[in-house]
Structure 1
């Protein structure tokens, strides 16, 4: 069983290693700039504009009734 101390020490060691790209210093200025996913397409429902080819599904909205009879909170 791993102790909390062992976990924290291991996490810190891995975090330091990962943040330095496994031992190499990151040079962010020389990295290529991403074009991203493209321009956003206006949402006809006016909820969320997304790039072409992306979609979303609303699973609940503020004030809708939940299965327990309560309303969806803020």
Structure 2
């Protein structure tokens, strides 16, 4: 499967036609994967992300419970 990309900005005409103000480029699935996520998360990165987001969820849950009680 191929995808179209534009190195400029996408434009929309009055008749609803879509254009590219730069150069169109075709991407394969593999190229798109490398453009979007050049490196995957390591186990250490996933652990760090979990340790950073867990307190946020706990804080939001606590605020919602306190709000419901009051």
TM class by shorter-chain length? 0.3 to 0.5
Which one has more relative contact order, counting CA pairs under 8 Å at least 6 apart? 2
The answer to which structure has the higher helix fraction is: 2
What TM-score, normalized by structure 1, do the two folds share? 0.33
What TM-score, normalized by structure 2, do the two folds share? 0.34
The answer to which structure has the higher strand fraction is: 2
